Each structure stands twice: as C-alpha cells, then as structure tokens.
Amino acid sequence: MPLLRPRRDPDAPRLPRDVFVLGIVAFFVMVGFGVVVPVLPVYARSFGVDHALVGAVLSAFAAMRLLASPFVGRMLDLAGERIVLSVGIGIVAVSSGLAGLAQDYVQLLVLRGLGGIGSAMFSIAAMTLLLAATPPSLRARAVGFYQGGFLVGGMAGPALGGLLAAISLTAPFFFYAATLAVAGIVGVALLRPVAADDAAGSVEPPVPFRTVLRDGRFRVACLASLAQGWSSMGVRSSLVPVLVVEVLRGPTSWTGVLFAVSAVAQTLALGPASRFVDTVGRRPALIGASAVGGVAFAGIAFAPDVWTLGALLCVYGVATAFLGTAPAALVGDAAGARGGRPVAVFSMCSDLGAIAGPLVAGLLVDQVSYPAAFGVAAALLLATSVASLWLPRPGPAAGPRTDAAPPAPAAAS
C-alpha cells in the first residue's frame, strides 16, 4: 500500500510490522463500511419508516459500541488482542451479511446493533496492539499510517457502494461481509501477540486518570471527538444520502461518488495536516479546522445542486484531516503512551456523537428543517474552535511535543 507509507528520515527506526498489518486491516474494514454508507439510510427508508427511525439505525451501531466498550478490556485479558480483534470483525461480518437479508425494519435495527458490539471489540483491540507495538518516538507515524488505511479504504468504498447500489440495495451488505472476512483472516494470521513483540512497548509511566481528566488538552480533544462523531459519523452519514435523493432529486449512486471525492480530498490533506499539527501545533490546527469545517457543514443544507454539495463536502473533508490528527495528538500529549482509559473515553465521545447526531438530526428534519439539523452539528464544530483558543500556545522551538506544557486549569471548560 504505497499511498500509506509515511515519509521518514533514512536513519530513523522503522515502524513495527504490526503497524503495517493493522493499516491493511483498517483498509479492508473501511472499504466495506464505505460501501454500506451510501445505501444504509435509503435501505432503512425502504421499510417505510420516517427520518427519525432512519437515524436510529445508524445510532444503534454506535450505541452498542458504547455499551460494549467497558467489557472489551476484560476480553483482551482473557483471549488476547488478536483473537478479540478477529472475533469482533467476524461479528460485524456476519451481522452485515444478515442485514442484507432483513425482512423488516426491526431485524435491520437489531443486526446493526450486533455489528456495533463487534466494532467495539475490533477498534479497542486494534488500538491496544498499535500502542503496544510502537515505541513513543514512532507513535504519531504509527497512528497516521493506521488512519491512512481507513482513509484510503474510505476513498474506494463509497464509489463501489454507489455502483453496487445500482444493482440492488442489499448487494453492498454482502460485499461488506466479504471484506471484513478478509480483514479478520489477515489479523489472526499476521498479527503477533503483544508479549511476543520484544522490540515494542513504552517505558513511560502511566499518567493517573484523574490527572488526565483535569488536563484541558484532553477535554478539548474529547469535545472535538464528540463534534466529529456527531457531524461525520452521525449527521453526514444519515442525512446527505437522503438529501441527495429527496431534495436534489438525484440517484443513490451520486452519494457514493460525493463521499468518494470527499474522501480523496481528506486523504490528500492527511500528510500536510499531520506535519502541520506536529510542527506548527495542535492549537492552530484545531482552531482553524473546526471553524472551517463548521462553516462548510452549515452550508451543506443550502447547496442548490450536486456540484456545490460536492465542493462543500471536500472542504469539510480537508478540515477532517486536521480534526482526525490533532485531537488524537492531544490525547497522547495528556495521557502518554499507556493511556488506555483516556483513549477509550476519547473514542466513546465519538460514539456518543454518532448516537445522538442521527437521532437529533432526524427529529429536526421531521419537525423543523434540514438547515436546523446541519446547524446543530456545525455549532459543535465551532464550539470546538472556540474551546481550542485556551490550548497552550506553541513555544519558540516547535516540535512534535510542542503542546506538552500543562495548560491553565479549566482551560477547556
């Protein structure tokens, strides 16, 4: 996967093999997910339900992720990261294939919820493996490579989803199950147990969880995660496909093309965004990207045609490249290498946004308007921009750990 290979100094240490494997797994997972995204809201509407219940289908996945997350740590202790990762992917694969055979809305809702349990198992196990396999000096590059797998998969997935939707609304679900099966096989065959990775691990002592919670950087990161989950995984995924079909009167395949173009913009911006976050600082990245993303997201509801909608989605995609790296870097700054609980809380904030976003957006569309639904998501992004003003400023010698100085108390309140 040459598009995902990070730039590095020739004398710098190489990323561990497990990082590359996890990037490949992420690619196959996201290809399948991206195939389903354009058709899921329309598929749910085919059962004769309103927009609020369409949002509930998307929220069920995130809700079960959230409920299952506290139990995954115990699973890792009992079975190990590789097994939990592969079993989690298997659960998503089976539930997704069966969703394509759903006979009514309730079956679709239940199967999406089961997929959320598997997703929690996969994502937490994958991040645990990633942190355990990577020394602190390579952490940012490892996370960037892993995110790159999702981005390249997200670039290919929606376009394939639009083509498959032209065949039938259920074909993408079967394709998703197949890509997940490949990802699970790659994971169980190539990933090594954490204990066997002699070169990995971090010597940094864990930061007490209470200390992390009091850190303004962590709170801003969680707000950014909530806003991203609400806008991207929630509102964008649930309303843009319906907006294309019911407002712009376009075919379902347009959604796949639009999401693919947006993913290309985000992927192309990831490298420059990561370098900006590391060299210029987390603070300016979050202030600018959250503001630009919020304005672009608010404008989506007023797009008069598919070309304007595509341009706004691309602007939002570029902003998301910054919003996908800067908050994660802040969590690493605040929690250090052994921040399992903070990373889980950070992830759960995104899940909360993905749960509430489609529900609130669906209700607002039914009761008020599309601009109101997109406006709430835009307000959360703008709130992140304002909260980021209280992050510590970069020092005169900016570097990867520029923002590591402790912030003032209650900085992100």
Please give the domain boundaries of the chain with CATH numbers for all domains.
16-195 (1.20.1250.20), 208-413 (1.20.1250.20)
Rounded to whole angstroms, the maximal C-alpha distance in the chain is 62
| The predicted structure's pLDDT at residue 50 | 80
Please report, as a single letter, which amino acid is at residue 118: G
pLDDT single digits (tens) 258-311:
887 887 888 888 778 877 887 788 899 999 999 999 999 999 989 888 889 989
Closest CA to 96 of 70, 129, 124, 122: 122
Calpha distance 338→325 (Å, rounded) = 18
Residue 133 pLDDT exceeds 80: no
Least confident window among 111-125, 233-247, 386-400: 386-400
| The predicted structure's pLDDT at residue 286 | 93
CA dihedral over 134, 137, 143, 145, signed as positive or negative: negative
pLDDT band at 212 (very low <50, low <70, confident <90, very high): confident
CA 366 from centre of chain: 27
Closest CA to 376 of 230, 241, 263: 230
| The predicted structure's pLDDT at residue 295 | 95
Determine the average pLDDT of the residues in 193-205.
49
pTM over 0.85: no
Of the ranges 16-30, 188-202, 259-273, which is most confident? 16-30
Residue 38 pLDDT exceeds 80: no
Determine the average pLDDT of the residues in 72-101.
85
